Amino acid sequence: MRKLYLDQKIWSVREKFTIYDDRERPVYRAQGSLFKIPKHFDIFDLQDHVVASVTKQPLHWLPRFDLKIGGQPVATIQKQFSLFKPRYDLVAAGLTVTGDFWDMNFTVSRRGQVVGTVAKRWFSVGDKYEITSQDDTDSLLLVGLVLAIDYVKRQAQAAANSSSTGN
């Protein structure tokens, strides 16, 4: 089992994240694109090599992202239509996501077996997420999932704030 902590930089225009292990040592860093369409995030290892990427697909009614690890497509993250609480599908080999996306607490399972969990840390400066993976090979998949859902939530909050201040 591996625990990672995804910590967003507070005053970052490019949406920068540092991913630490349970001993508070950096493992990865992630950075969002700036003024690019489609929006994408690159995940870098400690040697500054891109090890994974999350790219928002343009021209979809609901947000949809492609996740690549090592340059290979591994999953599509799709927001589903829902009236009250947000729902997401993770289209990959046998993976399902269940839980509370509004509060960012959810579980990822493969054929009924839990492969990882995500929990938002509420009492921290900036957004911080605890990611637990049962197998290290699923760690980047979980990090990519969190980046995509966090981005959608931020966009929704920005839209809500701009519409409430525009009255």
Per-residue pLDDT of the chain (167 residues; tens, 9 = 90+): 899 999 887 655 568 999 999 999 999 999 999 888 889 999 999 999 999 999 998 887 788 889 999 999 998 887 777 776 666 667 776 787 887 766 678 888 888 899 999 998 776 566 789 999 998 889 999 999 889 888 887 777 777 777 666 55
CA dist., res. 131 & res. 56, Å (int): 22
Please give the model's pTM, rounded to 2 decimal places: 0.84
Let me know: does 30 contact 19? Beta carbons within 8 Å.
Answer: yes
Question: What contacts 121, CB < 8 A, 6 or more positions away?
Answer: 5, 128, 129, 130
Classify 34 as helix, strand or coil. Answer: coil
Phi, psi of 138 (to 5 degrees): -95, 0
* Phi, then psi, of 10 in degrees rounded to 5: -70, -55
